[in-house]
C-alpha cells in the first residue's frame, strides 16, 4: 500500500521537490556516515520476537530493516517517510534481503491514520521536521499500544556538532542569513536540541517516563575533502545559507570553498572528513 503524502504541508513539499534529490546525492554520508548515533542502541536493544514497530521518517530504510531482523518473521516493521523516492530504495533493499516483515509507506507521520497496535516507535533523525511537533507526537502516541515505547535520536546543539557549526560559520562570513520567507525542511535538524522543550512537548502529547541519553562520537561527512565541501554547500545549516543566497553565493563560491577547505582539513582521517557530533536518544512511554 502506498499512501500519497497529500495534501502536503509546505515542508513535505520541500522535502519532495528540493531536498530529496540532494539527499540521494549524499546518501552515503546521510545513511552510513551518521549511523554512529543509532549503532549502539540497535546493537543492544532487546526486541521481543513478534514485536510490531514503526520507523518514523525512515529514509532509505536501513534502521527499519535492522529492526525487522530483530522482530523475526512473526513481527512487523512499518517504515513511514514523506518521500516515496527514498522508500523505493528501502523496498528494493528489503526484498533483496528477503525480509517479508517490513513495509514502507509514503505518508506524513503527523497525520497518518495509525491504529494502536505498535510496541515501539523508533526514529533516527526523523522527528525534527514536523509542521507541528506536538501534533506529530500525539499521532505517534496513537500508534502505540498502552505501555508502548517511543525512542528517537535527535541532534544536540550546534556547540556539540562541529560538523554543522564549523561550515556554517565559514559560510556566514561571506553571505547574509536566510530571509524570513526562506523555504525550509520544517523546524529543522537542531529543533529538538533542548531537553526542557522536548520534555514539555512529549508531556503535552501524553507521554511519560521521558529520558534523555547523550551520545557523542564521530560522523563521516565526506569521502574526501571535495565531497565534504560539496555536501556542506548543498545541505544542513551551511547549505541553507548558501542556497538562499542564490547568485551571490555562486559569485563567491571559489572564496567560500577555499576557506571551507582550510576549515575542514584538520578533520581529514584516512582520506575522509570525520568530525565530532552529539545526539540525544530520547525515550518515552505511552501510559499503560
Ligand atoms: C534526516 S532524514 C533521516 C532519515 C533516516 N531516518 C536516516 O536516519 O537515514 C529525515 C527524514 O524524515 C523524513 N520526513 C520529514 N518530515 C516528515 C514527515 N512529516 N512525515 C514523514 N517523514 C518525514 C524525510 O523525508 C527524511 O527521510
Q: What is the mean pLDDT of residues 247-258?
A: 98
CA of 123 to the centre of ligand 1 (A): 9
Residue 4, pLDDT > 70, answer no
Place of cell 531537553: 195
Residue 224, pLDDT > 50, answer yes
- Structural contact between residues 5 and 106, judged by C-beta atoms closer than 8 angstroms: yes
Q: pLDDT-based confidence at 5, cuts 50/70/90?
A: very low
Query: Which of 3.40.50.150, 3.90.120.10, 3.60.21.10, 3.40.50.620 would CATH assign to domain 10-285?
Result: 3.40.50.150
Task: Tell which atom from ligand 1 comes closest to the C-alpha of 15.
Answer: 25
Q: What is the mean pLDDT of residues 31-47?
A: 94
Segment 95-108, tens digit of pLDDT: 999 999 999 999 99
What does the pLDDT read at residue 286?
A: 98
What does the pLDDT read at residue 7?
A: 65
Q: pLDDT-based confidence at 264, cuts 50/70/90?
A: very high
Domain range summary for the chain, segments of one domain joined by + = 10-285
Q: Cell numbers for 9, please give them.
A: 504541508
- Structural contact between residues 58 and 64, judged by C-beta atoms closer than 8 angstroms: yes
What does the pLDDT read at residue 3?
A: 46
Task: Tell which atom from ligand 1 comes closest to the C-alpha of 153.
Answer: 8
More confident residue, 284 or 18: 284
Task: Tell which atom from ligand 1 comes closest to the C-alpha of 83.
Answer: 25
pLDDT above 70: percentage of residues in the chain: 98
Residue 232, pLDDT > 50, answer yes
> From CA 47, how far away is CA 50, in angstroms rounded?
9
Task: Tell which atom from ligand 1 comes closest to the C-alpha of 186.
Answer: 16
Tell me which of 88, 126, 128 to substitute to probe ligand 1's pocket, judged by most ligand atoms within 8 Å of the beta carbon: 126
Whole-number average pLDDT of the chain: 95
Tell me which of 61, 81, 153 to substitute to probe ligand 1's pocket, judged by most ligand atoms within 8 Å of the beta carbon: 81
Q: Cell numbers for 130, please give them.
A: 514536523
pLDDT above 90: percentage of residues in the chain: 93
What does the pLDDT read at residue 91?
A: 98
Q: pLDDT-based confidence at 135, cuts 50/70/90?
A: very high
Residue 57, pLDDT > 70, answer yes
Verify whether ligand 1 is closer than 6 Å to residue 139 (CB atom). Answer: no
Residues 6 or more apart whose CB falls under 8 angstroms from that of 238 comprise 164, 167, 168, 170, 171, 232, 260
Q: What is the mean pLDDT of residues 226-252?
A: 96
Segment 157-204, tens digit of pLDDT: 999 999 999 999 999 999 999 988 888 888 899 999 999 999 999 999
As a dihedral over the C-alpha atoms of residue 194, residue 199, residue 202, residue 207, rounded to 10 degrees, the angle is: 150
Q: pLDDT-based confidence at 6, cuts 50/70/90?
A: low
Amino acid at each position: 500500500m502506498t499512501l500519497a503524502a497529500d495534501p502536503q504541508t509546505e515542508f513535505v513539499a520541500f522535502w519532495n521537490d528540493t531536498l530529496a534529490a540532494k539527499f540521494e546525492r549524499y546518501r552515503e554520508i546521510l545513511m552510513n556516515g551518521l549511523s554512529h548515533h543509532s549503532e549502539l542502541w540497535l546493537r543492544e536493544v532487546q526486541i521481543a520476537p513478534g514485536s510490531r514497530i514503526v520507523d518514523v521518517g525512515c529514509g532509505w530504510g536501513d534502521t527499519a530493516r535492522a529492526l525487522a531482523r530483530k522482530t523475526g518473521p512473526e513481527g512487523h516493521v512499518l517504515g513511514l517517510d514523506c518521500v516515496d523516492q527514498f522508500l523505493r530504495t528501502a523496498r528494493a533493499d528489503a526484498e533483496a534481503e528477503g525480509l517479508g516483515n517490513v513495509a514502507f509507506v509514503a505518508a506524513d507521520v503527523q497525520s497518518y491514520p495509525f491504529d494502536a497496535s505498535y510496541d515501539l516507535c523508533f526514529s533516527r533523525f526523523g522527528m525534527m521536521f514536523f509542521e507541528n511537533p506536538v501534533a506529530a507526537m500525539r499521532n505517534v502516541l496513537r500508534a502505540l499500544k498502552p505501555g508502548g515505547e517511543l525512542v528517537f535520536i535527535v541532534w544536540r546543539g550546534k556547540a556539540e556538532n562541529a560538523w554543522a557549526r564549523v561550515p556554517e560559520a565559514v559560510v556566514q562570513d561571506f553571505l547574509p542569513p536566510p530571509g524570513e520567507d526562506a523555504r525550509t525542511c520544517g523546524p529543522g535538524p537542531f529543533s529538538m536540541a533542548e531537553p526542557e522543550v522536548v520534555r514539555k512537548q512529549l508531556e503535552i502529547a501524553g507521554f511519560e517516563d521521558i529520558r534523555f541519553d547523550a551520545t557523542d562520537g564521530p560522523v563521516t561527512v565526506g569521502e574526501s575533502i571535495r565531497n565534504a565541501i560539496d555536501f556542506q554547500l548543498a545541505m544542513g545549516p551551511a547549505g541553507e545559507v548558501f542556497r538562499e543566497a542564490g547568485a551571490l553565493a555562486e559569485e563567491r563560491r571559489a572564496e567560500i570553498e577555499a576557506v571551507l577547505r582550510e576549515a575542514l582539513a584538520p578533520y581529514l582521517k584516512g582520506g575522509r572528513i570525520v568530525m565530532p557530533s552529539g545526539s540525544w536518544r530520547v525515550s518515552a512511554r505511552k501510559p499503560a
